[in-house]
Structure 1
Amino acid sequence: MERFSCQRCGICCTNIGGRFSDSEIRRIEKGFRELEKLGIYLAISPKDFSIPLFPEEVKTLLRLSKELKIDFHPLPKLFLVDSKSKSCIVVEWDLGAGSCPFYDIEKGCLVYENRPLACRSFPVILGLDGYELLKLCPQTRCLDLSSEEIEKIFVEEVIYAKEFLKRVEENKERIMNLIRMGEISPLLVDRKNALNFLSKYKSKLIQLLNYSFED
């Protein structure tokens, strides 16, 4: 089988989210509940997930949205409540839309050179059992490939899938370092109270994000 080549059909840009079954949603929520032991909370339900964005990606896309005059309103996805600054630190964002605002039906992706890692790795994800394919892509719906076969066919996408997971782990380590250095002190509360804090400090998220994650 030939190497994968994106056909730029736009389906993955305009038909985002709603890809998880009820059982998958319960499994995802269970996994995220483990993070609550570290004071990291899920801000939205897995059924509302669209495209995951890292803090630095949000910063870039916010700048580009202003230049292109595009309405872009990302949503906090993973966050912690810092008891020292009485603010929220967003660990990961969500695109917050079922159709990407940066996609133009005639021109395609308007931020292609700056597209997020989640877009670069699509339709490949790196799971616990190796590489998997998201079936939203028309080219993958009828494919039943092993992790090894995916590595051979989706070469570039696999590279970015690895980078995506690496970035997730780096952000976790960054948080642990901030805690060890005494820079932040995550508040351990139930998720409902954490969401109340998130709502209260919503206007400060971007500034705190930049302060907490930039070198």
Structure 2
Amino acid sequence: MSHIAMIPARMGSQRLPKKNLALLDGVPLIVHAIRKCHAAGLFDEVWVNSEHPDFGPIAEAEGARFHRRPEHLGDNNATSEQFVAEFLETHPCEVVYQVHSIAPLLTADELRGFVAEMRSGRHDALMSVVEENLECVFRGEPVNFTFSEKTNSQDLTPVQRIVWAVTAWRRDRYLEAVRTGACATYAGRIGYYPVGRMAGHVIKTQEDLDLAAAVQAARRSRGGASS
């Protein structure tokens, strides 16, 4: 069965209007995501998933397919569990990879590594995480250190922050959880795949977009990887 990429692209957004169409290096974020999925070279199909028809021609022009979800699954009240389930009910596959266009600094190489980990068969759900080698507290209590001594940051056990740049789910396990009323996002055997700190940078505001543009410019100047 197939491994497919699904790029969610809601037209509405509150802090940065039409953020999926916002330009980074002169190219819309949604197009960066489609091209990255193609560059990874590991997906049987690449889909754009939106409630708005304007994304259809964009997907087609970039060699992707378009899934138009019901309009109510594109409003501010819709959850990712709802639109992922609706997509999976329509498209049989073994694994779906949700690749977020608003995390444009995730590289194709990181995406390849993530897919390889999911293909290992060890996970029903795989989350992209950024590992934080810093002292972290929760409700005033230490998580990965102790108040009884000062530890060098490089010696700390890193805290893993789920960043949603890319997430994978086995279709059958996800839909089984939906049917039984369980939380599908975290159903079954969960794995965590570390990505670079910048891969976890999510575009929600103009400031976020400006920072992503600066990072891209820095990567180009030193001949590094881009999105």
TM-score by length of 1: 0.28
- Structure having the higher strand fraction is 2
- Structure having the higher helix fraction is 1
